[in-house]
Amino acid sequence: MQTLDLKLDSLSQAPDAQIVSASSLSLSLPEAPRRFFRHGWQSWSLAAWTDVTPLPIQRPTLLHPMQSDPLYAYETSPNSSWVGAVELEDDSILLLGALGLDAHVTLKSDRPSIAGQRLQGQYEAGEGEWLIAHGDETTVFAHYADELGKRLGKKSNQSTPRIWCSWYSLYTAIDESILHRIFDGLGDLPFDVLQVDDGWQVSIGDWEANAKFPSGMNALAEKIKSTGRKAGLWLAPLIAVESSRLFRKHPDWFLRDGRGRLVSAGFNWGERLYALDTTHPDALEWLTQFMKQVRGWGYDYLKLDFLYAGALPGKRHVDMPREAAYREGLKHLRQAIGADAFFLACGAPILPSLGLCDALRIGPDVAGQWEYPRDANLLYNHTTPGTRNAIRSTINRLWLQPLVMTDPDVAYFVEHENFLSEEQKQLLQDLALVCNFKATSDLPQWMTPVERESLLRFLNATPQMKRLSHAIFQLDDRIVDFATVLSLPKPPTGATRLWGASLGWLGNQSLALKILKRLDDRALKQRMNRLKDKN
C-alpha cells in the first residue's frame, strides 16, 4: 500500500467525507490549525482538545505503560491514537481517523499537516483504511463512529444497568461483614448490580478469596443475589504482580521484549506489574478456565480492568501486531464469559475493545477530590484519579456513544469523607445522565436522608438528553455546561518545572511509591474502622 499526500483544498470539492487506503498518509492544511484533538490510547489516557504546541512528557515515566501508550509516551508533538482532528480558522473541523487497529495520527507543524500512520501488517477488514471528514465536530465524529461500527461491531441492545460499586468509598479496605452490612443498608434503592471491586483477591494474579472473605466468593455472590440483584466482580485478568504465585510459577507466560526482558505493565499495589501474553496457548487456556470459574461462582457482571496490558508492545509467542493480539485475546475472554454476562472493559485500549465489550470506561477514575495540583501542574499528568480529569476525558470521548455503553465512572451524593463541592457533585451526576450510565460507591451508612433521596431520584431519572455544543447539554429543560472543566493547566515553566522534574524522578522510585502506598493503606484502615464504629 502506498503513502498518500493529500491537500485539504483538493478535498473540499469532494464530498465532506471520504475513505482512502494507505499505510501512511499526510494531509496538508491551508494554515496552522487553532486546536488539536488528541485521543488517548486507553480508558485512563487523556482525551482533550489542546492547543498545537508540544505538551510536556507526562510523569512519572514509570507509570507510562498504565496511563498512556508507552510507544508514544516521549513524543511531544501533538499526537493521538487512531483518530486526530484539527480546528481550522473557519471553525470547521478536519478529522483523520483510522478504521482499523495499530494506527496513529500526528500533527506536523513545519508544513502544517496532519499525518496518519499504520504500524504493522494487515489483520482485519478496515486496516489500512482511513476516514477523512471535514465539517462540524458532531458530524465528523458521528461519521467516524459509523464507519468504525461497520468494521469493529456495535453495542448490544442491553439496557444500561444501575450499579453500586465498592471502590470509591473503601477502596481495598473491604471485607465480607462490611459488604454484607452495605448490601443490607442499600435496602430497596433501585440498583441492578452490586459490584465488588479490588480487595477480595489473594493477590493480582492469584484470584481466590483472601482471608477477609472466609465464606468464599460463591457465598458473596449468593448474598448479593438474595437482594434481587446481579452480582458483579472486579478482576484484572491480564496482569500479575511479581510476588504472585501465577507469575512465579509461569514466568514464561508473560510478555517480554525482543531481548527477552520482561515488559513492564506499570507499578501499582506497591509492586511491579507484568502483562500476560495472550498468544501463549497455556496462558490463554488459564484465562479461559479462570473466566469460567468466576461465572461459576455466580457473577454475571464483570469489570475487567487493566486490560491495556494485553496490547503493550513486545515480542509475543505468536508474532502479531500488539492490538490485534489484544483483540484476539479479548474474543477468547468474551467467549469464556458468555454472551449473557455483562462485560465492562476498564483501563482498556479503546478501538480494539469495540464490539467485544458491553460497556467501556472512557476516562480516568473519579475521586472525592476535584483535582490534585501535584499531578495536574507539577507532573502534568491528567490521567490520575480526580473528578476533573474524569470529566475532561469522558466529555471528549462521547462520540463513542453509538458504539458502546460509555462509563464515566461513579457519581457521588454524600458529603461524608468527600471534598467535592455541591456544584462539582452535581456536574458529575449530570455527566452520568449524559453518558446514560449510573453508578455510585456511596455507603448507606454515610447518607443523610436528603442524600439518600437525591440518589433515589438520580437512579430513577430518565431525562431527554440533547447535546447543544461540545460542552453544553440539555437534560430535559435543564442546561448543563462543562466548558470550564475541560481546559488543561498551563505547562509548568521555570522553578515549577524543576520542581515537577524532581517530583517525577521521585515518582519513579519504587521505594517512594511503596511508602506512599503504606500511608494510603493506613488512612484507609482508619476509614474502615470509623465505619465499623458507626455500626
323 touches ligand 9PG by CB under 6 A = no
Instruction: Count residues binding ligand 9PG (CB under 6 A).
Output: 13
Are the beta carbons of 347 and 66 closer than 8 angstroms? yes
Q: Closest CB to ligand 9PG among 267 and 482?
A: 267
**C-alpha to C-alpha distances, 413 to 408, 424, 456, nearest whole angstrom:** 15, 10, 10
- Measured from each CB, the residue nearest to ligand 9PG is 198
271 touches ligand 9PG by CB under 6 A = no
How is residue 456 written as a grid cell?
433515589
67 touches ligand 9PG by CB under 6 A = yes
| Alpha-carbon span 80 to 71, nearest angstrom | 11
346 touches ligand 9PG by CB under 6 A = yes
44 touches ligand 9PG by CB under 6 A = yes
**C-alpha to C-alpha distances, 415 to 204, 261, 350, 451, 461, nearest whole angstrom:** 32, 48, 33, 8, 21
Minimum distance of ligand 9PG from residue 177's CB (angstroms) = 21
Candidates 63-71, 280-288, 337-345, 490-498; binding stretch for ligand 9PG (CB under 6 A): 63-71
Helix 176-185 crosses helix 510-534 at what angle (to 10 degrees)?
50
Minimum distance of ligand 9PG from residue 147's CB (angstroms) = 29
Residue labelled with grid coordinates 511531544: 76
Minimum distance of ligand 9PG from residue 252's CB (angstroms) = 26
| H or E element, residue 481 | strand 478-481
Amino acid identity of 389?
A: N
Minimum distance of ligand 9PG from residue 306's CB (angstroms) = 7
Strand ranges (DSSP E) for 57-188? 79-81, 83-87, 93-98, 103-108, 113-118, 129-135, 162-165
Burial of residue 118 (CB within 10 Å: 0-12, 13-18, 19+) is buried
Site string for ligand 9PG, 129-148 (x = CB under 6 A): --------------------
Q: Of these, 49, 164, 234, 253, which contacts ligand 9PG (CB under 6 A)?
A: 234
69 touches ligand 9PG by CB under 6 A = no
Residue labelled with grid coordinates 469489570: 303
Within 364-423, which residues bind ligand 9PG (CB under 6 A)? 365
Look at the chain and count its residues.
535
Q: Closest CB to ligand 9PG among 267 and 413?
A: 267
How is residue 454 written as a grid cell?
437525591
Minimum distance of ligand 9PG from residue 400's CB (angstroms) = 17
**C-alpha to C-alpha distances, 54 to 74, 75, 200, 215, nearest whole angstrom:** 11, 9, 42, 53
Candidates 59-67, 101-109, 294-302, 439-447; binding stretch for ligand 9PG (CB under 6 A): 59-67
The residues that touch ligand 9PG, with contacts defined as CB under 6 A, are: 44, 63, 66-67, 167, 197-198, 234, 268, 305, 346-347, 365
